[in-house]
Structure 1
């Protein structure tokens, strides 16, 4: 997919709404060659997805060996709204807590006191983290009104041909 086509999809109002959510599903290939899919908090910085994880996370050796990933950001309503992304993970080990980690966890409802306690706990637990930065190389938005999964689009074309 060309960058302009990806940007066109990601700049749609529904895509922007989905990119403002706080949870994605990250799919990658584990070191043993089996698939993995994990829910993880994220933030969108306008051009890249940023995830943060512990320096000892099992996903890190896998992402170093094979940085190709897929992401799903979706809703829990009918019809579902789904943003599918693919890209390559870049790993950036940082000292302390990345600002993105604090931002992505700021969407949860917490009182000011709870937030202060949470941040203190996070800062006491993590000496460092790894930022996983993903630049989308492919994107598809499915809203079941104007866009459908490709298999359903194919069935619609076949039905139209049969009825023609």
Structure 2
């Protein structure tokens, strides 16, 4: 992950690097999935734009728009912060396959 080196989250993560992150996917109950991660972030300030930031843009934009995006980023950022998460705990839930937190499974049983 990356952000401007001057972003408030960079200062906050410098003071308290322990984080929890949740990524949700799926647009129906049957396709719902969640990845929960807890860990410690490591910050690196880089000159210019974090290369991974531009690589992600290239995957999501056509070549012309990605080139324009890169030009704009390089004009905007003198420095960026790379935020690397070192996982210490992770759990994946696939709600459609019945893999869900025990407390939710119990609630689902009661409501059936």
TM-score by length of 1: 0.59
Q: Does 1:114 align with 2:65?
A: yes
Distance 1:132 1:152, change over 3 A: same
2:99: which partner in 1? 147
Give unpaired runs (5+ residues) of structure 2.
none
Question: Whose helix fraction is larger, Structure 1's or Structure 2's?
Answer: 2
Q: Unaligned 5+ residue runs, structure 1?
A: 1-50, 160-164
d(CA) in 2 for partners of 1:138 and 1:150?
17
| Larger RCO: 1 or 2 (CA < 8 Å, sep 6+) | 2
Count of aligned residue pairs for this structure pair: 106
CA contact 2:57–2:66 (8 Å) conserved in 1? no
Corresponding position of 1:13: none
Alpha-carbon distance in 1 for matches of 2:21, 2:99? 18
> Partner of 1:126 in structure 2?
77
Tell me how far apart the structure 2 counterparts of residues 150 and 89 of structure 1 sit (CA, whole Å). 28
